[in-house]
Structure 1
Amino acid sequence: MLVDAMRTRLGSALFSRVAGPDGPANRARIHDTPGPRWFALDSPVRAVHGDAAMFIGGIAALLLQSLHPLAMAAVAGHSGYKGDPWGRLQRTSTFLAVTTFGTEEHAQHAVDQVRAVHARIRGTAPDGRAYRADDPHLLTWVYTAEAYCFLAAHQRFGAHPLDEEGRDRYVAEAARVARALGADDAPSDLSTLRRRLDAYRPELRATRDARAAARFLLLTPPLPWAARPAYGVLAANAVGLLPGWARHALLLPYVPVVEETFIRAGGHGLTRTIRWAMRPPA
């Protein structure tokens, strides 16, 4: 049928962008290898990380994470996000998939690989402060920003938003991966996560690198022109998930009526379309 062919074509194109050329092999390894997993089949972390709302939550997390000057200095100096943005996305999405859905052995191996990379990343930020990627305090910030944005996106655009208990369980489950990576004090419930986000605020500001990253993500993404309108809707909804102080720091506008009607409706429509296109065949 024509509709099935369209769904398959769109789903394959999206999966290829997010997962890269090794995506099919990685998917088979992650999902088909027998063995115990870190998270049960009905775990909230699987529900959140497996939903199309992550397309929005991921953009929001990158914007929020950029506000820590030392974390942003490490990204600007070592990640190559402008030179190889799709490669970085594919590595990140594969890590999330392995730790969320893979066997315990594969998940631990993925964590060990990331920790080995982090151990080699050192530098000096533009403000003169030294940084290292395996700093437990910075790793806790990265986790806090991710968990906040991933969960916020799921609650707004996910197929099945979590109840209060599910939200706390999600934060606790995501913290397991953060601790494995070396985070020193990862929040394990939603109220603590929100307090931790506020506690980091005195350390946060929009550096030149942070604003450059925001411009790259929001205005000049490495996409063909035909795909940019759809991406623009996802990006606008990602901005809508950020706390007001974060938007203000990054000089991102706020137009309440437009955001809460047309833009949000577009976000719901696009996430439903992505979910439909990437649904495994029956």
Structure 2
Amino acid sequence: MAVDIGYFSDDSMIRRVMRKRAVGLTYGLRALVIGAVNPLLYVGTAESTEHRDTPYTRLALTGKLFEAVFFGTREEADRALEFTGKKHAQVKGRLPEDAGARHPAGTAYSAYDPHLSFMTMAFTFESAEVMYDLLVRRLSDTEREDLYQDYVRWGELFGMPRTAAPADYRAFRAYFDSYLASDEMFLTDEARKVGNYLCGHVVPYPQRVPGRQVSSAYYLLVQGSLPRRIRKMYGIDWKRSDEIAYRGLAQSVRNAHSVPSLLVPRPVRTALNGPSAPVYRLITKQEQRLAQEGKRSMPGIDPRKWAERNSA
């Protein structure tokens, strides 16, 4: 009887990269922060989610679904894909207001629009690639190509047509860099506020030691990894001292991954490697505790959809 190993082999690049917790715990936030500059993706998601009031719970759920496809058996992955497909069927509509010159009010969006499906994959893949290069080691050209092709396959599983993605990594990089330099990017007021919370530029509640140091380091890595133009769009005043601290922290994490595994104590190996789902559960519990205290995770973000907020 054949063993169900899932859609990706254990030695596939996507598993090798995503099992590194330094990547698994940072790529998602980075992808959301950068992805918010695409107003069709941001508005489409925000207007269709059931978790406007619990954004970190939604982030944790998304991370668990993605990991089911990265690491799970086909049965586990198919359950995650079926669940996601039902949610995606609800993501369709039109921009309720202008979102930059390239996205006037009335522009249609859909989770199954081939280009938007590709952009979702693009932000996710590029963030995983960047965080692995930054925090683990630099990928070789062959590894980078293999990782890209794995992510294209991953995008296909979620409904992206293969033809929507560039044929190879070099073509992808040329397209993506061009996009980041284009006038297509635009942050709605809400997207800017949400992104500032997600990357830790705005911290709503003071934290105690040592949680404050851990979260500050985490947010420093996410902010530092953002393209300069994206940081400027969010109003992040990135100083030379920030860059020095960011580079030093990133190098420390890289150094931890460069030690031969036989010399690393088991608790450290466990912390560095494996699915990030256990941490996602902690994020959800933290948000639940805030709700019990009558606090919002993102103060000032209206939990209602646009039509409800703007009804007479």
Q: Normalised by the size of structure 1, how large is the TM-score?
A: 0.77
Report what 2:170 is aligned to: 191
AA aligned to 1:186 is A
Q: Judging changes above 3 Å, is the alpha-carbon distance between structure 1 residues 240 and 173 closer, same or farther for their aligned structure 2 residues? A: same
Cα deviation 1:69-92 (Å, max 9, x = unaligned): 111112322335552233212211
Q: Does 1:266 align with 2:249?
A: yes
| Structure 2 residue identity aligned to 1:96 | F
Q: Distance in 2 between matches of 1:104 and 1:222?
A: 41
Contact 2:28/2:63 (8 A) holds in 1 = no
Three-state SS of the structure 2 residue aligned to 1:36 is coil
Instruction: Confirm or deny that 1:44 pairs with 2:9.
Output: no
Root-mean-square deviation over aligned CA pairs: 2.7
Question: Which residue of the other structure, out of 51, 66, 70, is the alignment partner of 1:100?
Answer: 70
2:53 counterpart residue number: 83
User: 1:109-148 maps to which residues of 2 (within 5 A)?
Assistant: 109-125=79-95, 126-127=97-98, 128=105, 129-148=107-126
Whether the aligned pair in 2 keeps the contact of 1:51 and 1:275 (CA below 8 Å) is no
Flag the 1:276–1:258 CA change in 2: closer, same or farther, 3 A: farther
Matching residue of 2:271: 277
Shift of 1:138: 1.1
User: Is the counterpart of residue 209 in structure 1 residue 190 in structure 2?
Assistant: yes
Residue 65 of structure 1: how far off its partner (Å): 0.4
Indicate yes or no: 2:41 matched with 1:63. Answer: no
Give the distance between the partners of 2:268 and 2:36, measured in 1 at CA. Answer: 26
Give the Cα–Cα distance (whole angstroms) in 1 for the partners of residues 138 and 15 of structure 2.
12
Q: Is the partner of 2:93 in helix, strand or coil?
A: strand
Cα displacement (A) at 1:223: 8.6
Tell me, in whole angstroms, the C-alpha distance in 2 between the residues paired with 1:70 and 1:102: 30
Question: Aligned residue for 1:162?
Answer: 139
Alpha-carbon separation, structure 2, partners of 1:240 and 1:274: 25
Distance 2:167 2:19 in 1: 20
Gaps of 5+ in 2: 99-104, 257-266, 275-312
**Corresponding position: 1:175 with 2:152:** yes
How many angstroms does 1:258 deviate by?
2.4
Residue in structure 1 matched with residue 302 of structure 2 by the alignment: none
Q: From the two aligned structures, give the one with the greater helix fraction.
A: 1
Query: How many residues in Structure 1 have an aligned counterpart in Structure 2?
Result: 246
Which one has a bigger Cα radius of gyration? 2
Counterparts of 1:143 and 1:110, CA distance in 2 = 16
User: Does the aligned pair in 1 maintain the 2:20–2:272 contact within 8 Å?
Assistant: no
Partner Cα separation in structure 2 for residue 63 and residue 99 of structure 1? 22
Distance in 1 of aligned mates of 2:243 and 2:128:
19
Which residue identity is paired with 2:234?
A: L
How far apart, in 2, do the equivalents of 1:189 and 1:238 lie?
Answer: 26
Q: Percent identity?
A: 24
Unmatched runs of 5 consecutive residues or more in structure 1: 1-32
SS state of the match for residue 21, structure 2?
Answer: coil
